[in-house]
Amino acid sequence: MIPESIPKAIRLAIEAAQDKKARAITALSLEGLGAFAEYFLICSAESVRQIEAIGDAIEEKLREDGVRGPRREGRTGTEWLLLDYGRFVIHIFSEKARQFYDIERLWRAAKRVDIPEPRRSSAAGTGDE
C-alpha cells in the first residue's frame, strides 16, 4: 500500500512503476534539506528495455492526470533514466547503476519511504486459490 502522505502525482508514478514490475521502489522526502526538489522517487529495473517501459508508463499516467511533461535525461539504451518534474524527480536505474550512484546514501538525511511490493494474485487456474 502506498502511504497517503505521499503526494498524488508521486503515488501515480509509483503505481505506473509497479505496473511495469519496477523493483525496490523508494521515495525520499527532501523537504527541509534545501534541495531543488521536494521528492525523489527511485526504482530499479532488470534491463534497459524495462527502464524505458517504466519511464514511458510513468509519463503516460501522469500526463493522463494533467501533470505537465518532464524534462527527460538519459538516452535510449542507458542504465539511468531521469524524469524531472520540477517538484519531484524520478530516477529509474539498472541495479548496477543504482548501486554505483547510491542516491539513497547521498541523501541519507531525507525521510525515506520504502514502497512494499504489490501483492500479485496467483495465476487463474493454478489450483492455488
How many whole angstroms separate alpha carbon 57 and alpha carbon 45?
Answer: 13
What is the overall mean pLDDT for the chain? 89
* Of 66, 62, 126, nearest in space to 90 by CA: 62
Buried b / exposed e over 83-103, threshold 16 CB at 10 Å, is bebeebbbbbbbeebbeeeeb
Write the pLDDT tens digit of every residue in 94-113.
999 999 999 999 999 999 99
Confidence of residue 126 (pLDDT cuts 50, 70, 90): very low
User: Which grid coordinates belong to 67?
Assistant: 501533470
User: Which grid coordinates belong to 4?
Assistant: 497517503
User: Which grid coordinates belong to 101?
Assistant: 550512484
The CATH classification of domain 13-114, taken from the options 2.40.10.340, 2.60.210.10, 1.10.486.10, 3.30.460.10: 3.30.460.10
Residue type for position 12: L
Write the pLDDT tens digit of every residue in 21-64.
999 999 999 988 978 899 999 999 999 999 999 999 999 999 99
The whole-number pLDDT of residue 120 equals 65
The model carries a pTM of 0.87
- Domain locations along the chain: 13-114
SS3 89: strand
